[in-house]
């Protein structure tokens, strides 16, 4: 373990120094281009500022400390979904997590259950593949023929799918899921929530709905969920993923019984 002090004027302090002016980060490092690269943890100390988020702390560590420290980030307001990481043992978006809410030292790891590319950057390809596997696109039975004709949707129906449409593809849910960790083919929470969003959209039509429900009865779809609620707990957009999956189970059961 090495220590990286990013405060130009501060005297070297021990890693247990957690006075309120300093934030101590324990950051997972993995630099694959180094020969014989092995992962390790590095300690960064950055000056605390009111309102500081974990992303702010990481940016400070990088920009005033070690330029090789690598992580994804973009919007810094919880909408682009780039900076989901494993912070103090839980999947969180770094940009919406206040440093003051966390116990120090703050341990930051890449999202579990995904291959690490470098430092805090994980390989998202499998997550994207699973998202794409549920045909995540609107595909109505009877598209309107007139360019200005709106497909009507009741406010209630829009409300029903509202939470599911909030997904930002950050991958926190899938990373938190024990089942997804053990079954690579399991669609996982975010893709199932995406399926829920289309299955319940009244604009799509019965035929497409049936095809979508058919997929839900697959061995690696809704029945794999063991309702542990971890996906719901970690979702930074408060999407009730588990509830959605439970509802899909009911719909899939009805579909199996040919009740549709």
Partner 1 sequence: MVQLQSHEVIVVGGGGAGLRAAIAAHEAGADTAIVTKLHPVRSHTGAAEGGINAALRDGDSWELHAKDTMKGSDFLADAPAIEVLAKDAPENVIELEHYGMPFSREEEGTVSQRPFGGLSFPRTTYAGAETGHHMLHTMYEQVVKRGIQVYDEFFVSRLAVTDEPDPTDRTCHGVVAIDVRRGDLWGFEATRGVILATGPAGQVYDHTTNAVTCTGDGQAMAYRAGVPLEDMEFVQFHPTTLPSTGVLISEGVRGEGGILYNAEGERFMFERGYATTDGELASRDVVSRAELTEINEGRGFEDEYVYLDMRHLGRERILDRLENILHLAEDFEGVDGLTEPMPVKPGQHYIMGGIETNEHGQTCIDGLYAAGECACVSVHGANRLGGNALPELIVFGRRAGLHAAGVDLGDPQIVTGRRGAVEDWDGTFETEIGAVDPEPAYTDSGVGTDVVEAAIDAEQTRIDELLDREGGVRHPEVRRTLQRAMTDHVNVFRELSGLQIALKEIRSAREAYQHVYVEDSGKTFNTDLIQAIETQNLLDVAETIVMGAIARTEFRGAHWRAGHQARDDDEWLKHTFVSWDDGAPSLWFKPVLLEGEKTYEPTIRSY
Binding site for partner 1 (CB under 8 A): 31-34, 50-51, 62-64, 66-68, 70-82, 96, 117-118, 121, 124, 128, 132, 135-140, 143-144, 147-155, 158, 161-162, 165-169, 198, 201, 203-204
In the numeric block, the tokens 């009741």 are attached to 154
C-beta of 13 vs 215, nearer to partner 1 = 215
Residue with Cβ nearer partner 1 (118 or 126):
118
Cβ distance to partner 1 smaller for residue 95 or 179:
95
Cβ proximity to partner 1, 3 vs 68, nearer residue: 68
Least Cβ distance, residue 24 to partner 1 (angstroms): 21
- β-pair type (106-109, 84-87): antiparallel
Phi and psi at 136, nearest 5°, equal: -80, 60
Least distance between partner 1 and beta carbon 226 (Å): 28
Q: Which residues pair with 47 in a beta bridge?
A: 22
* Closest C-alpha among 225, 227, 215 to residue 252: 215
The minimum distance between CB 111 and partner 1, in angstroms, equals 15
**53: its two tokens:** 């988020």
- Residue 142 contacts residue 205 (beta carbons within 8 Å): yes
Which residue, chain included where needed, has tokens 């975010």?
190
Say if residues 200 and 158 touch (Cβ distance below 8 Å): no
Distance between CA 159 and CA 38 in Å, rounded?
A: 48
Helix ranges (H only) for the chain are 54-63, 125-133, 155-162, 172-176, 178-182, 189-199, 206-216, 230-234, 241-256
3 state SS of 44:
strand
- Give 76 or 126: the residue with its C-beta nearer to partner 1: 76
User: 3-class DSSP state for residue 101?
Assistant: helix
* Shorter beta-carbon distance to partner 1: residue 72 or 90: 72
Q: Give the nearest distance from C-beta 223 to partner 1 in angstroms.
A: 25
Cβ closer to partner 1: 25 or 225? 25
């Amino acid at each position: 373990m090495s220590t990286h002090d990013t405060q130009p004027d501060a005297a070297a302090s021990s890693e247990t120094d957690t006075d309120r002016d300093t934030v101590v980060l324990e950051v997972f490092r993995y630099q694959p281009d180094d020969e014989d690269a092995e992962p390790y943890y590095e300690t960064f100390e950055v000056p605390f500022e009111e309102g500081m988020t974990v992303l702010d702390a990481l940016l400070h560590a990088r920009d005033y400390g070690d330029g090789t420290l690598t992580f994804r980030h973009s919007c810094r307001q919880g909408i682009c979904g780039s900076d989901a990481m494993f912070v103090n043992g839980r999947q969180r978006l770094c940009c919406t997590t206040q440093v003051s809410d966390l116990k120090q030292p703050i341990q930051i790891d890449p999202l579990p259950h995904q291959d690490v590319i470098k430092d805090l950057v994980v390989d998202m390809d499998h997550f994207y593949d699973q998202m794409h596997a549920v045909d995540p696109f609107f595909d109505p039975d009877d598209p309107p023929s007139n360019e200005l004709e709106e497909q009507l949707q009741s406010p209630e129906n829009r409300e029903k799918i509202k939470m599911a449409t909030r997904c930002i593809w950050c991958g926190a849910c899938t990373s938190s899921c024990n089942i997804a960790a053990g079954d690579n083919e399991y669609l996982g929470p975010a893709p199932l929530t995406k399926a829920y969003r289309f299955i319940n959209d009244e604009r799509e039509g019965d035929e497409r709905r049936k095809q979508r429900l058919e997929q839900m009865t697959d061995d690696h779809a809704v029945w794999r969920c063991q309702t542990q609620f971890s996906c719901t707990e970690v979702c930074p957009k408060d999407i009730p993923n588990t509830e959605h999956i439970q509802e899909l189970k009911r719909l899939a059961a009805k579909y199996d019984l040919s009740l549709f």
